[in-house]
């Protein structure tokens, strides 16, 4: 983190005069770097710091989007390979996936019904 307040070249400061602390855009904040325990005082011009933070977030968003697209492409490739392997081995993958989902739903319903019966038993014991 570096100071973004440069009052010597600031036109607003030239208009207002006085000290940098009197500028409406001036702000101070303490930062603690991850590799050092000593806090650092950063003197910022709010509009400049905001633009820098937006640029940082924009760069991160581009990285996340790229990663997501790579994962999507990888997932598509895995699906294609699974279908080819399923066809070559004689397994109907669509039927297999549907049956697996059905079994998971049955297990989920059993768990929910088991929880309801336990709750009903608890309520009967209380009353």
- The count of structural domains within the chain is 2
Residue 20 included in any domain: yes
Q: Give yes or no for residue 126 having a pLDDT over 60.
A: no
Residue 38 included in any domain: yes
Pick from 66, 81, 110: which residue ends a domain? Answer: 66
Residue 114 included in any domain: yes
**What range does the domain containing 50 cover?**
1-66
What's the rounded Cα separation, in Å, for the pair 13 and 26?
10
Residue 76 included in any domain: no
**Structural element, H or E, at residue 45:** strand 40-45
Pair (47, 5) in one structural domain: yes
Pair (11, 52) in one structural domain: yes
Residue 73 included in any domain: no
For range 79-106, the mean pLDDT: 82
With cut-offs at 50, 70 and 90, classify the pLDDT of residue 127.
low
Say whether pTM exceeds 0.85. no
**Structural element, H or E, at residue 29:** strand 26-31
């Amino acid at each position: 983190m570096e100071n973004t307040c440069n009052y010597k070249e600031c036109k607003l400061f030239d208009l207002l005069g006085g000290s940098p602390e009197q500028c409406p855009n001036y702000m101070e904040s303490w930062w603690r770097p991850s590799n050092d325990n000593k806090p650092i005082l950063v003197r910022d011009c709010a509009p400049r710091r905001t633009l820098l933070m937006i640029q940082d977030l924009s760069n991160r968003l581009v990285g996340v989007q790229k990663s997501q697209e790579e994962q999507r492409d990888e997932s598509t490739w895995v699906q294609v390979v699974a279908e080819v392997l399923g066809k070559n081995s004689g397994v109907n993958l669509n039927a297999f996936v549907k049956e697996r989902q059905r079994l998971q739903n049955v297990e989920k319903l059993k768990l929910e019904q088991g929880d309801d019966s336990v709750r009903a038993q608890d309520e009967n014991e209380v009353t």
